[in-house]
């Protein structure tokens, strides 16, 4: 496999807390990868290291053959590495459209009209009708979609969605799932970090389970779901 993203021996500590690693993960172009693990197992820390919010203490991150380990987050985003945040924090006092234009200002990807591109993204997440509404008027589902839209204006090669379905109803989960499937069919590699087991298992081609910062299982969804160590973490002895 010619990896799109390689995470090699990445480790991160916070003071005395060893939050992550060492972990090695190779992600192929077009893949749908699920990342699971209990609270505090290091999922968000891993994403923060990949996207440049944190600098890993050790290890290397290679994206499209380029060592990005020490690049700032905005440069990684310009290269096509995008993430959505676990807790949506839209800019209050701004409309839905304006919430997309702010990150685009940092991207400076091409000369295409930014408003046109933002409108396309709003269409693709079914938020076009909310374009001129204040972000604080959105429902939970719409906030989740806006959070994804903010990641998508970068026209990413890889989207890392950190718990994009938390707190949603079954029908709303299906809505986000089909959105992520559509993106993947359009060629975007998707990493789904998720606690909602049936969602992550149905979406992913491969699943990785973290516990206390280490990979304890990796494989097809059915293999990982049936793995004894994973079952112990989720269901006890």
Q: Binding residues for ligand ADP, per CB under 6 A?
A: 14, 17, 19, 37, 39-45
- Which residue's CB comes closest to Mg ion? 44
124-163 mask for Mg ion (x: CB under 5 A)?
Answer: ----------------------------------------
The nearer residue to Mg ion, 41 or 189, going by C-beta atoms, is 41
Who contacts 212 (Cβ-Cβ below 8 Å, separation ≥6)?
40, 41, 42
Q: Which does 99 bind (CB under 5 to 8 A by kind): Mg ion, ligand ADP, none?
A: none
Taking CA atoms, 33 is separated from 91, 119, 123, in Å, by 29, 28, 25
> From the CB of residue 57, how many other CB atoms can be counted at a distance below 10 Å?
16
**Measured distance CA(60)–CA(39) in Å, rounded:** 25
Q: C-alpha dihedral over 113, 117, 122, 126, to 10 degrees?
A: 130
Cβ–Cβ < 8 Å for 126, 145: yes
Residue from 41, 44, 69, 84 touching Mg ion (CB under 5 A): that is: 44
Q: Which does 111 bind (CB under 5 to 8 A by kind): Mg ion, ligand ADP, none?
A: none
The nearer residue to ligand ADP, 37 or 88, going by C-beta atoms, is 37
Q: How far is the CB of 41 from ligand ADP (least distance, A)?
A: 4
The nearer residue to Mg ion, 44 or 204, going by C-beta atoms, is 44
């Amino acid at each position: 496999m010619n990896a799109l993203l390689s995470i090699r021996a990445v480790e991160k500590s916070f003071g005395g807390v060893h939050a992550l690693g060492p972990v090695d993960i190779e992600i192929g172009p077009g893949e749908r990868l699920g990342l699971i693990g209990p609270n505090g197992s290091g999922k968000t820390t891993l994403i923060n290291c990949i996207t440049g919010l944190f600098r890993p203490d050790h290890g290397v991150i290679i994206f499209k053959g380029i060592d990005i380990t020490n690049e700032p987050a905005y440069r990684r985003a310009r290269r096509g590495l995008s993430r959505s945040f676990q807790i949506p924090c839209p800019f209050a006092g701004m409309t839905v459209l304006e919430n997309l234009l702010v990150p685009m200002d940092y991207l400076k990807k091409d000369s295409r009209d930014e408003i046109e591109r933002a409108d396309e993204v709003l269409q693709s997440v079914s938020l076009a009708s909310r374009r001129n509404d204040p972000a604080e008027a959105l429902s939970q589902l719409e906030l989740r979609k806006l959070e994804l839209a903010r990641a998508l204006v970068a026209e990413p090669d890889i989207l890392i969605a950190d718990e994009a379905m938390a707190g949603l109803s079954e029908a709303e989960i299906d809505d986000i799932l089909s959105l992520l499937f559509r993106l993947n069919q359009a060629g975007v590699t998707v990493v789904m970090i998720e606690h909602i087991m049936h969602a992550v298992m149905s979406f992913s081609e491969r699943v990785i389970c973290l516990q206390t910062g280490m990979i304890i299982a990796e494989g097809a969804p059915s293999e990982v779901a049936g793995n004894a160590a994973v079952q112990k973490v989720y269901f006890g002895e």
